[in-house]
């Protein structure tokens, strides 16, 4: 995955890709629902806004199975919603917070399309429960920069045409941003490694490498070319 800190373990417990059609996803969610209770327990002390939390006689807080109030900090802004405890961070962002930059592509930690920064580290948001992200800083591609105020990395991505359909691009930008935060001048091999969890079906990798190199003040190497300038105001 994008980073060794990504919470990918447990991904495979889910689906065992035997012939179980269509319901691999169902069983995975059941699995998440099951572990959701214990994971939520850990999250609970960070969870002051949880209206549905109940105290067990033993003292542990359980959340759910009914929908629970969840509070997140997304791109610097607090958001508050009620969702089942089994809701993944990706679902919460897309379906509750109207943050659709992170994409649902594989929903099982295989593609990096859903990458977000959790306390500055890249994680696959499809593999984590929203409740586990409470009290932590969540940043998505939208938080890295906007069309009117883009991050230099995003400008470089556009200039080097490091996208075609663009569906992988939010995840790529997020992983690359995390790389640049921890390594301001990555070489090409480090860039390849950092992006090895981000699949791009259109095949834009060489342009991505160059965009990351240039965004970190280095020369593009993969195919040495001066790509010209973004045309101001040229956007549709």
Partner 1 sequence: MSQEPRALRAINAGQSVADNATRLEGLEKATGAARYGRDQIKKDMLWVRLIRCPWGRASLDSLDRDAALATPGVVEVVVSGDAGDYHGDSIGYVVARSRRSLERGLQALDAKWTRLDCKTGILDDESARGPMEEPSDQVASAIDDAAFTFEATYSTPVQTHSSLETHGLMIEPDGENSIVHASTQGTFVVADQIGRFLGKRRSRITVDCEHIGGGFGSKFQIGKEGAAGGLAAKSSGEAVYSFCDREEEHLDTGNRPGLLCKVRLGHDADGTIRGARFETFGGTGVSRRGGGARVPSGRFEFGTLDARNHRDVQFNAGGPRAMRAPGCPQGAFVEELLIDEIAHRCGQDPLDLRRRLDDSDRRQRMYDLAADLIGWKNRAETGSQSGTMRTGYGIGTCDWGKGRAPAKIEVVVHPDGHLEVRTGTQDIGTGQRTAMGALVAARIGVPLANISVAIGSSKLPAGPASGGSVCTPSTAPAAMAAGDLARERILAGVAEREKLDATTLTIDDGVIMNGGRKVIRWEDACRRLSEPISVTGEFDGRASAYWGEGSSEGVQAARVEVDCETGQVFVRDVIAIQSCGLPLVRKTAESQIMGGVIQGTSYALFEEQVLDPNTGAVLNANLENYKILGSEDCPRIIPVLWRDDQTGVRALGEPPVIPTAAAIANAVFNAIGRPVRDLPLRPDRILAALAEPMAERVVAVAPGTTERETRA
Question: Which residues neighbour 1 within 8 Å (Cβ) at sequence distance 6 or greater?
Answer: 8, 109, 112, 124, 197
Report which of 209, 147, 201 is spatially closest to residue 175, judged by C-alpha positions.
Answer: 209
Nearer to ligand FES, 50 or 169 (CB): 169
**Residue 124 lies near ligand FES (rule: CB under 6 A):** yes
Nearer to ligand FES, 74 or 126 (CB): 126
> Residue 157: which H helix or E strand, with range?
helix 152-159
Query: What is the C-alpha to C-alpha distance for residues 90 and 171, in angstroms, rounded to an integer?
Result: 12
Could you tell me the smallest distance in angstroms from the CB atom of residue 134 to partner 1?
19
From the list ligand FES, partner 1, none, partner contacted by residue 23 (C-beta under 5 to 8 A by kind): partner 1
Stretch in the footprint of ligand FES (CB under 6 A) among 12-20, 142-150, 151-159, 166-174: 166-174
Could you tell me the two tokens for 222? Answer: 């993969």
∠ CA 2-156-201, nearest 5°, is 50
CA distances from residue 194 to 63, 75, 77, 87, 234 in whole angstroms, order as listed: 36, 22, 28, 27, 31
Q: Which of 111, 128, 157, 215 binds ligand FES (CB under 6 A)?
A: 111
Residues 182-221 that bind ligand FES (CB under 6 A): 200-202, 204
Could you tell me the smallest distance in angstroms from the CB atom of residue 13 to partner 1?
13
From the list partner 1, ligand FES, none, partner contacted by residue 35 (C-beta under 5 to 8 A by kind): none
Q: What is the dihedral of CA 167, 172, 175, 179, to 10 degrees?
A: -170
From the list partner 1, ligand FES, none, partner contacted by residue 31 (C-beta under 5 to 8 A by kind): none
Q: Which of 95, 104, 152, 227 binds ligand FES (CB under 6 A)?
A: 104
Nearer to partner 1, 181 or 223 (CB): 223
Query: What is the C-alpha to C-alpha distance for residues 74 and 182, in angstroms, rounded to an integer?
Result: 21
Query: What is the C-alpha to C-alpha distance for residues 211 and 208, in angstroms, rounded to an integer?
Result: 5
From the list partner 1, ligand FES, none, partner contacted by residue 98 (C-beta under 5 to 8 A by kind): partner 1
From the list ligand FES, partner 1, none, partner contacted by residue 116 (C-beta under 5 to 8 A by kind): none
């Amino acid at each position: 995955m994008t980073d060794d800190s990504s919470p990918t373990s447990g991904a495979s417990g889910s689906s065992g890709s035997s012939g179980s059609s269509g319901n691999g996803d169902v069983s995975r969610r059941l699995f998440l629902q099951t572990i959701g209770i214990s994971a939520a327990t850990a999250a609970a002390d960070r969870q002051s806004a949880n209206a549905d939390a109940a105290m067990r006689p033993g003292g542990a807080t359980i959340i759910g199975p009914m929908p629970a109030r969840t509070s997140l900090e997304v791109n610097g802004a607090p958001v508050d919603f009620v969702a089942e405890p089994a809701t993944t961070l990706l679902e919460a962002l897309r379906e509750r917070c109207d943050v659709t930059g992170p994409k649902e592509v594989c929903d099982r930690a295989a593609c990096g399309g859903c990458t977000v920064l959790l306390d500055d580290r890249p994680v696959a948001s499809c593999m984590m429960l929203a409740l586990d992200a409470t009290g932590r800083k969540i940043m998505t591609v939208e938080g890295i920069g906007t069309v009117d105020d883009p991050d230099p990395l995003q400008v470089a991505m556009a200039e080097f045409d490091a996208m075609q359909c663009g569906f992988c691009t939010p995840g790529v930008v997020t992983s690359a941003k995390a790389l640049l935060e921890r390594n301001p001048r990555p070489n090409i091999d480090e860039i390849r490694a950092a992006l090895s969890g981000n699949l791009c079906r259109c095949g834009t990798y060489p342009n991505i490498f160059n965009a990351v190199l240039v965004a970190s003040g280095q020369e593009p190497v993969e195919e040495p070319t001066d790509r010209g300038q973004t045309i101001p105001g040229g956007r549709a």
